[in-house]
Amino acid sequence: MTRSHRSFAATAAACILGAILAFCSGVTLARQIHSERSLYRNILVTEEGSMRCLQFSVRKDQRNQSCVNLRHPKRMVFTYTRMMMASLLLQPDPHRILIVGLGGGTLPTALQEMYPDSQIVVVEIDPAVDEVARRYFHFRPTGNTRVVIQDARVFGKRLVRELSQHPGKEKKFDLILLDAFNGDYIPEHLMTREYLEETRGLMSDDGVLAANTFSISRLYDHESATYEAVFGPFLNLKSGVSANRIILASRAQLPGVVILKNRARKLNKRLKPYAVDLTEYVNRLSRRRDWDSLAKILTDQYAPANLLNAD
């Protein structure tokens, strides 16, 4: 067999093996429809059947950050986005909303449809993500939605300073959603006590915060201890099918189960187009402290990178 024949045979065998593995695992190769290297990450948009997905990669593997079902664009594809809407159980009528991290625009799109009179501010560090969300994921900000291209930490610090100089309740937020991922995990400067204290300063008296995190993270104990140090008791919402964990914190007293169930029933009709059922979350909301109470709090000096790189 000649070298060219051997090369052809090896290539053919690899293709056949790849097809077999894909078939056996139920996975088909998605078609790449957009690719770019932004200042912060590699951005990919893939399409497979009716599913279009946004992927980020920095150093490790590529992961879907956001997906849309082109046949049913309102339906929330990911478990974590549906879980983030549980924040409405604590704050069912937000007038000012802050969303940190745009992704494909799933959360701001749903919230501006549900609350057309509310003011929504989306903070996204990467202008390329904003462009991709508009071009490929049907993100269409209304007149009440503003996208700020800025690091969320810088945005928070500047607004805290502005509020201290010109106090005004109308500038604070009733609902804050933290959903910033860089391709690996949450940026470390958006996990510290200092950042959460700054963010708490942006919340109205009955303001609610929801943070998208992972239940299997090596930082679980440290994240939990940090949120408790800033907000006191909070609610944990974990998925039964994924590793997602949503932290729900409030500046006001956390509502009881009866109130949560009543709010879920009232909100579910409005959430049906997004495939969200809040009643299933009520019984899964936990107030139990399931982390090491001695875990060290994350600070600007003691950041997640110190932990992840430790032997």
Identify the pLDDT of residue 310.
55
145 to 78, 86, 188, 300: CA distances (angstroms): 23, 21, 27, 31
Q: Is residue 157 in a domain?
A: yes
| β pairing state of 119-124 and 96-100 | parallel
Cβ neighbors of 266 (< 8 A, separation 6 or more) are: 92
Task: Say how far apart CA 93 and CA 174 lie, in whole Å.
Answer: 8
- Reduced to 3 states (helix: H, G, I; strand: E, B; else coil), residue 211 is strand
Tens digit of pLDDT at every position of the chain (311 positions): 443 443 444 344 334 333 333 333 334 468 999 999 999 989 999 999 999 999 987 555 556 889 999 999 999 999 999 999 999 999 999 999 999 999 999 999 999 999 999 999 999 999 999 999 999 999 999 999 999 999 999 999 999 999 988 876 678 999 999 999 876 789 999 999 999 999 999 999 999 999 999 998 899 999 999 999 999 999 999 987 888 999 999 999 999 999 999 999 999 999 999 999 999 999 999 999 999 989 999 999 998 877 665 54
Q: Is residue 73 part of a domain?
A: no
pLDDT given for residue 178 in this prediction: 98
CATH code where residue 226 lies: 3.40.50.150
Angular region, 185: left φ>0, alpha ψ -120 to 50, beta rest: beta
Number of domains in the chain: 1
Residue 184 lies in a domain: yes
> Does the residue 107 lie in any domain?
yes
Catalytic positions are: 179
Amino acid 9: pLDDT: 40
Strand partners, 42: 37, 57
Q: What pLDDT shows up at residue 60?
A: 53
pTM, rounded to two decimals = 0.88
Residue 301 lies in a domain: yes
Residue 90 is assigned to a structural domain of this protein: yes
Are the CB atoms for 110 and 116 separated by under 8 Å? no
For residues 297 and 124, give the distance between their C-alpha atoms in angstroms, rounded to a whole number: 26
Q: Which neighbouring-strand residues pair with 168?
A: none
State the first-to-last Cα distance of the chain, in angstroms, to the nearest integer: 50
pLDDT score at 57:
75
Query: Cβ(210)–Cβ(246) under 8 Å?
Result: yes
Sign of CA dihedral 150, 153, 157, 162: positive
* Residue 247 covered by a domain: yes
Pinpoint the alpha helices (H) of the chain.
3-25, 79-84, 106-114, 127-136, 152-165, 193-200, 220-231, 257-271, 279-282, 304-308
Which residue range(s) make up the domain with 296? 79-305
